[in-house]
Structure 1
């Protein structure tokens, strides 16, 4: 049994993302993990199960031709529940070969039990994300 805390798991997520890998890896997820993204497009708002999440994360990372450079303005809030943290941050990314950089805000509510993530609810700014995705297609300057 892993003894990783919610903060440890969030730090591992950051490390993975900055290393060019999917942020969430199989070893950090419970078998019955649930990922929610309430502001995502329909059909992508809820994903259940480690295998499905890992496959979706891998495909998403491969399809997104950007390099995550930094987590900026990170604030982690502990809650009254020791299984839960709330992390606020901006992800800073660039498009290789273009010099284009952008950042987008996120808030994650992470619940971990027995050293594994059991629930991850991610809030992101859809307009900022659309602008970042447009950069990869058209090379225009994004925010930040």
Structure 2
């Protein structure tokens, strides 16, 4: 079995995500890999390029109001490109503040080479998050993510001004 192909990379990524090892998940990205969230709500970046910006984003979301506990109903679709697959599955967990269960549908396009993620395009449903949390429960998460984003952007602007 190929432990560097996209299917093995997906399985490792899911394992790290469930273990809440988002730093380890970030390590899976190629130095210039991309993490794309086309349906991201306000305050969440839609596109990140580079392992370190991806790490900064991922490690900023370690305390979320949703705790993911398992994935199931996995369907993997191979493409003509052997480095690329499309995965469809459900994430299950609980709302931390209430203990209420939730289900989050995922569709992801994954492109991997030599065990590294080149592209992780994540079509998760913000609507499912809103339904699980309710609008009031979502506002603190959006605010925290937006603060983190603007802080990172300010640090990048400062670094650029020094150059």
- Range class of TM-score, shorter chain: 0.7 to 0.9
- Larger gyration radius, structure 1 or structure 2: 2
Are the equivalent residues in 2 in contact too, given 1:95–1:135 (CA < 8 A)?
no
In the alignment of these two chains, the number of paired residues is 135
When residues 111 and 24 of structure 1 are mapped into structure 2, their CA distance, relative to the original with a 3 A threshold, is farther
Alpha-carbon deviations, 1:43-97, whole Å to 9, x = none? 61111110010111111122x0332111021111111110001000111011346
Normalized per residue, the structure richer in strand is: 1
In the alignment, is residue 95 of structure 1 matched against residue 95 of structure 2?
yes
Alpha-carbon deviations, 1:87-116, whole Å to 9, x = none? 001110113463311001110000012221
- Name the SS of the counterpart of 1:41 in structure 2: coil
Aligned to 2:54: 53
C-alpha RMSD over aligned residues: 2.3
Structure 2: gaps of 5 or more residues: 139-163
Q: TM-score, normalised by structure 2?
A: 0.73
**1:36 Cα offset (Å):** 1.1
When residues 75 and 53 of structure 1 are mapped into structure 2, their CA distance, relative to the original with a 3 A threshold, is same
Structure 1: gaps of 5 or more residues: 139-144
Normalized per residue, the structure richer in helix is: 2
Aligned to 1:75: 75
- Name the SS of the counterpart of 2:93 in structure 1: strand
Aligned to 2:15: 15
Aligned to 1:106: 106
